[in-house]
Structure 1
Amino acid sequence: MKEKEKRFKPHLLLKQLNQYRFLHIFLYVTLGFVLFAALYSNVKPETLDVELFAVSEQTIYAPTTVEDKVETEIKQQEAYNSVEDQYTLKRDISEKQVDLVSSIFDAMLEVIRETENVSLPEEDSKEEGKTITPEEKVTRLKEKLTPAINDKISKDVYLPLVSTTSEELTLAKDSVVTAVNNVMSKEIPIIQLSVAKDQVEEELEYSSLRSDILRASTELGRFAIVPNYVFNLEETELKRQQAIDGVKEVQLKQGQIIVEEDELINREVYRKLGLVGLLDNQQSFKPFIGLGLLIVLIVIGVVYYFEQQEQNDRKRNNVLLLYCLIFSITLLLMKIVSLFQRIDYTHIGYIVPVAMGAMLIKLLISERLAILTSMILAVCGSIIFNEGVTGSFNFALGIYFLFGCLAGLLFLGEHNLRSKILQAGLFVAFMNVLVITAIMLIRNGTYSNLEIGSYFVMACVSGLVSSVLTIGFMPFFETGFGILSTMKLIELSNPNHPLLRKILTETPGTYHHSVMVANLSESACEAIGANGLLARVGAYYHDIGKTKRPQYFIENQMNIENPHNKLSAQLSKNIIISHATDGADMLRKHKMPIEFVDIAEQHHGTSLLKYFFHKAKQTNDSIYEEEFRYPGPKPQTKEIAIISIADSVEAAVRSMSNPTPDKIEKLVRSIISERLQDHQLNECDITLKELDTIAMSFCETLKGIFHSRIEYPELTKKQKVKQA
């Protein structure tokens, strides 16, 4: 390695770091730690140093919505107690009591009929006309009834009834059964039992029964009346449970005033402060767990983007490190500006130049990653600038950041011109003003002219500073990381560049050849999804080494004899082969991007100089092919492989006397087939399908260049004269 290449260069240091296999994993973890460190203080629950029965020095609001379980349980208990006992009318009880009274009278009638039969003289009886006393009838009656009934009805009730006739007892039965049925058909709760018994007595008063039988019948009727409107436990519990379920949980709403300034902090207020986690002696880990999950999701999104990219580890690590730096710088700017929130500048977040991060990532890496980062920065910003809001997220500022970033990305467009960065900053400022206006109108608040003016000034400053910082950081990142941005490529494609002007003035044939190769390479790269702009600009410089000895290359030999006719094949071979290494040295000397150096060094790979090999073979049979091959290395990327094929295709087609579409296609495919057979494409990740697409792209481009032309009459006449 030459001495000048041993000087310290940042991108060389990065190249050494990229050799570590697990560097990308370390960068992902580092990105997660950076996010956690930046957002930790903003999700940490706020605590207040307050004492019970002290006077509050400030108005305290609930930082989040939580359920007040104590108040909820009190409300539920009140609802439970408010439900009255549920009762149900049991009609089967009424029917049972009517049947009971009827059965008692039936038993009496049975006893009377039996005693009437016994009192008749029997033919074979030795005693004539034996009479059964009322007491004996009562005894027989009790034998027919249950002990429970006998215990509740006294003997005095039965005596008048068993002493009467069957007809009169039947009349008493009908009266009592009717009265009991009428009373029991209504609801009789236990507290109204005595009233119901009195109603039976009132109904029997109007009957035609004798007084003694009436009294006995009344006692039986009162005995038969029982409560039929009974307590229903299941229905009561169901109603009470429905009442509990109907109670909405009592919540301390986010932003609700817990205690106002100069108010006493009583036990209830102190309990609520502890409930929302504002006391010193209470610490919740839920916010940190939630933050950790959010960071994991963000890192997963970044990992998914980088790991799905088809690129080698070295390039991936380089781009990932660049991304982490840009993201960390943007996050650091947010964090620094957020410190002003503590001195009552709660809306200072509108001045953060967050669009800078998104625009840098678009210009230096890719637009897709820039869009993803815009969303991530919007989420992070809404957390960092949550001072002065009742929740953990400042959604208004998050929307403001998102629209600002997207505005910058959309305005830059596809070409990423450096001159458009300042214009993009102006567009971001305009969009910021519109978003702030929309937010203020949606909130429907009252704002002073000073507040509105300060918001608009911060919005404009944010956009302009974003563009200024983007322009300022671009050279550092491009130089430090040795990356080749779209804007850098466009600048290097300027014909006024010293090296391009050198090619144009010293080797005009080579310059024309390079332009043709650039056109072929760009269209082919875009057809397979490779970097077309890199291929175009790299093709401009791929033959820069020919400027060292321009007359030894046929495209520059105008009106002069070919110098190779006077040289040996060995010497001609050395001159031709040296243009690749000379070009790489010249590009390194002018500190051109490493991609251009690789293109100049690899665009011939290890291919064979057939013409000079066969020329040497004619004089010396002991010559080996390896002596007439380029030193390489072989093409390492798709872009270099395409430039390598385009270089040969353009030279071959240009040498054809009468190119036709069929001839061109046959030639293109034969060159590609030859490169494959010579194993020149083995070290790049190009596929056969892509090679077929490249061939079709070359043919389409070449058909447009070498199309048939109209033969003018004047020209034809001159040609005939010349031929004559």
Structure 2
Amino acid sequence: MGKILDNAYKYQSLTYKYFLYLVSVALIVFFFPKGGKFKYEFQKGKPWQYENLYAPIDFSIKKSDIEIADEKQSLRNNKTDYYTANVSISEGVKADFQREFQNTFTTNNYTSRQRQRLLTAGLSVIDSLYKSGIFEDLPEANTNILVKNNEATQLTLNDFLTLDLAKQMVSPMLAKKNVSSLNELVNLVQRSLRANVFYNESLTEKALLEELGKISYTRGEVSAGRLIIAKGEVVEAENFKMLKSLKEEYESELWQGNNYYFIILGYTILVALVLVMLFLFLKRYRNEIFKNNNKVTFIFFNILVMVLATTLMVKNNESYVFVVPLCILPLVLKNFFDARLGLFVHVLTVLILGFVVPNSFEYIFLQIIAGIVTILTASELYKRANLFISVGQITLIYIIGYFAFHAIHEGNLDNIEWMLFGIFVLNGLLTLFAQPLIYIYEKMFGLISDVSLLELSDTNSKLLKELSNKAPGTFHHSLQVANLAEAAANEIGANAMLVRVGALYHDIGKMDRPTFFTENQVTNVNPHDDLPPRESAKIIIDHVIKGIEIARKNNIPDRVIDFLRTHHGTTSVYYFYKKQQEIEANVEEDDFRYPGPIPFSKETAILMMADAVEAASKSLKNPTFLMIDEFVEKIVKGQMQANQFLNANITLKEIEVVKKILKQKLTNIYHLRVEYPE
């Protein structure tokens, strides 16, 4: 049992990677749209590269989304408007007219015969006006139907009578009846009239929906065995529609029965192969990342986020697939790791998405080109303008690529989908979200970016300000080391910003007891004179531990703390070791040795060299070119002989370059000049 637990503990890192790999493959396949994959690739305007294709099944030729949308719009433009007549209103109008008539045309002024004649004429006019009805509004559609007493009657434009028009017709209609007292009667009839025909929106909409439901989504049938396209024939409008319809029908039928399991198996194998390539790349070329499960998880997490976002977009509306800002992936990975890894992961992610996106060749081509542009242009993201410039170039690449593909497919620049330009611009705007996303990832995964390094390098920050106040000599030493190390890192292609920040913080532990370090002693009084060498050595060695404690309290990132841990490696405090030997014969050198670890990267190795050289250079008196050259060679050679660079991925050639830069910088610091002959 104990052996099993030991093996489990020993291989826990590898076990976690296997688990992460299996979960990632399962999730990606689960995200994929549920459908088979047509085995032929074709593009409009290009020749058919396969053998003659005959219809394997009966299928319908489907209309395009644009054709269906045009048909629907045509129905909406020519829809039938329904109006409803309220019969009770016309009866009420006649009742109101008769009541007012009795008050207006009294028996004192008119005879019974006159009054009857006028009343009959008025009612006759009202009946005539309400024969079709008086409409509230003028119609908008060409076809109109009046529903009256549950009977529908089709109307022409001449049948429409609005309230204003009805009032204008009263006078001539009464004049034709030759009645006297015309003005009083005209006014009375006009006052009584009210609209009784109203637009029925619900009935109109119901009828429109019925018409829309009758639209056919196909334009004919293709029987099995019919030749669809011959080898070498150009894929044009008609056969393109047949091929597209066959593809949709084939993929929908393929995802049935036992085929389901074989399709899942196929997707699983392909996705598994892609992710194996990623593991092999990390193992062979980025072993330090491969060993760090946190970083591996970060990379896989980003791949899963991009696959999920893209597949969701494909499922909901594939026309907006380019809205997903896929270039955030190489942008973020380059920021935290390097350009080569960022591009490699981007290409693998695009290959995975090529299984599910429409027009996969176009998509893969555009996304890979955009990813390359991202890698080439996005640098120093802590400078805000750089991100905007890079995003602008990415957007331009998308637009130019779309123009090129459109010209190939259509043979002209007609029917350009201008909406896609808006999609590309939106993609660019979403890519700008990389900046806050980097900050979020820093907190989630404990990583560090150039933006954070720039903030940490500010000498007005709280911790560096405290260092300059408590240990001004150490602060000045740290600045000098930062300048030396940054110059050396730039020369060999290391992370100069990281080295500079590590150099600024590497001696913060000296704040605890600053006067015990030579650079902070302003008088000739040395506190070590009153202490045994062993205790003095312990104080010197403890500044590493104290520095790590101070850094953790101030939330300094682990990558910066690595410089505090390694800047002395496992070297010894040689001065106090020798003094202790003068007191006692048998002295263990390990008691005077720093706890380590030794440097494990180019950056930490550079800092060790720069720190030792700068600190020891203070002992030089009247330095010359030769003296500086021998001095630097001696210090670095001693570190190499002590095996301090065994774990650092720095070559002998790079060490020689670092030494050359250190010599040049020290020469500048001491203002050495060439001695001219007398």
Please give the range of the TM-score, normalised by the shorter of the 2 chains. Answer: 0.5 to 0.7
* Structure 1 counterpart SS, 2:341: helix
Q: CA RMSD in A?
A: 4.5
- Residue in structure 1 matching 2:357, options 350, 374, 385: 385
Q: Is the 8 A contact 1:503 1:547 kept in 2?
A: yes
What's 2:428 paired with? Answer: 463
Q: Aligned ranges for residues 354-503 of structure 1 at < 5 Å?
A: 354-386=326-358, 393-413=359-379, 417=383, 420-444=386-410, 452-468=417-433, 470-503=434-467
Q: Is the 8 A contact 1:432 1:459 kept in 2?
A: yes
Aligned amino acid, residue 336 of structure 1: L
Q: Is the 8 A contact 1:424 1:467 kept in 2?
A: no
Q: Is the 8 A contact 1:358 1:373 kept in 2?
A: yes
Q: Aligned ranges for residues 232-271 of structure 1 at < 5 Å?
A: none
Tell me, yes or no, if structure 1 residue 647 matches structure 2 residue 647.
no
- Residue in structure 2 matching 1:319, options 266, 290, 295: 295
What's 1:592 paired with? Answer: 556
Mapped to 1, the partners of 2:60 and 2:550 lie a distance apart of 80
1:419, CA displacement in angstroms? 6.1
Mapped to 1, the partners of 2:586 and 2:284 lie a distance apart of 51
* Structure 2 counterpart SS, 1:472: helix
Mapped to 2, the partners of 1:62 and 1:418 lie a distance apart of 58
Mapped to 1, the partners of 2:255 and 2:301 lie a distance apart of 38
Q: 1:607 to 1:52 in 2, by over 3 A?
A: closer
1:592, CA displacement in angstroms? 0.8
Instruction: List 4+ stretches of structure 1 deviating above 6 A.
Output: 50-56, 60-63, 248-255, 272-282, 284-290, 445-449
Aligned amino acid, residue 326 of structure 1: N
Q: Which moved more, 1:317-326 or 1:375-384?
A: 375-384
Deviations 1:298-349 (A, max 9, x none): 33542342122253476443322111111111111112222222xxxx5222
Q: Aligned ranges for residues 203-214 of structure 1 at < 5 Å?
A: none
What's 1:90 paired with? Answer: none
* Structure 1 counterpart SS, 2:672: coil
Q: 1:621 to 1:351 in 2, by over 3 A?
A: same
Q: 1:524 to 1:310 in 2, by over 3 A?
A: farther
Q: Is the 8 A contact 2:26 2:268 kept in 1?
A: no
1:526, CA displacement in angstroms? 4.8
Task: Tell me how many residue pairs correspond in the alignment.
Answer: 496
Q: Is the 8 A contact 1:60 1:257 kept in 2?
A: no
Mapped to 2, the partners of 1:322 and 1:339 lie a distance apart of 26
Aligned amino acid, residue 649 of structure 1: V
* Structure 2 counterpart SS, 1:20: helix
Q: Which runs of 5+ in 1 are unaligned?
A: 1-15, 73-247, 261-268, 387-392, 712-724
1:650, CA displacement in angstroms? 1.2
Q: Is the 8 A contact 1:377 1:402 kept in 2?
A: no
Mapped to 2, the partners of 1:659 and 1:308 lie a distance apart of 46
Tell me, yes or no, if structure 1 residue 59 matches structure 2 residue 193.
no
Mapped to 1, the partners of 2:647 and 2:279 lie a distance apart of 27
Aligned amino acid, residue 307 of structure 1: K
Mapped to 1, the partners of 2:240 and 2:506 lie a distance apart of 74
Q: Is the 8 A contact 1:432 1:463 kept in 2?
A: no
Deviations 1:243-273 (A, max 9, x none): xxxxx7799979855999xxxxxxxx99x98
1:666, CA displacement in angstroms? 1.8
What's 2:90 paired with? Answer: none
Indicate the structure (1 or 2) with the bigger Cα radius of gyration: 1
Q: Is the 8 A contact 2:347 2:368 kept in 1?
A: yes
Mapped to 2, the partners of 1:276 and 1:658 lie a distance apart of 85
Aligned amino acid, residue 427 of structure 2: S
Deviations 1:632-684 (A, max 9, x none): 33334443233223222112222101222322222222223323444444554
What's 2:16 paired with? Answer: 23
Identity of aligned residues (%): 27
Tell me, yes or no, if structure 1 residue 350 matches structure 2 residue 322.
yes
Deviations 1:141-199 (A, max 9, x none): xxxxxxxxxxxxxxxxxxxxxxxxxxxxxxxxxxxxxxxxxxxxxxxxxxxxxxxxxxx
Mapped to 1, the partners of 2:221 and 2:287 lie a distance apart of 51
Q: Which runs of 5+ in 2 are unaligned?
A: 1-8, 40-55, 63-215
Mapped to 1, the partners of 2:286 and 2:250 lie a distance apart of 53
Mapped to 2, the partners of 1:253 and 1:43 lie a distance apart of 22
Mapped to 2, the partners of 1:442 and 1:35 lie a distance apart of 33
Q: Aligned ranges for residues 14-93 of structure 1 at < 5 Å?
A: 19-39=12-32, 41=34, 43-44=36-37, 58-59=217-218
1:464, CA displacement in angstroms? 0.5
TM-score, normalised by the number of residues in structure 1: 0.59
Q: Is the 8 A contact 1:378 1:399 kept in 2?
A: no
1:576, CA displacement in angstroms? 1.8
TM-score, normalised by the number of residues in structure 2: 0.62
Q: Which moved more, 1:280-289 or 1:485-494?
A: 280-289
Q: Aligned ranges for residues 663-674 of structure 1 at < 5 Å?
A: 663-674=627-638
Q: 1:412 to 1:685 in 2, by over 3 A?
A: closer
Q: Is the 8 A contact 1:355 1:463 kept in 2?
A: no
Aligned amino acid, residue 37 of structure 1: F
Q: Is the 8 A contact 2:366 2:398 kept in 1?
A: yes
What's 2:662 paired with? Answer: 698
* Structure 2 counterpart SS, 1:604: coil
Q: 1:22 to 1:416 in 2, by over 3 A?
A: farther
Mapped to 2, the partners of 1:500 and 1:336 lie a distance apart of 47
What's 2:316 paired with? Answer: 340
Mapped to 2, the partners of 1:619 and 1:696 lie a distance apart of 40
What's 2:134 paired with? Answer: none
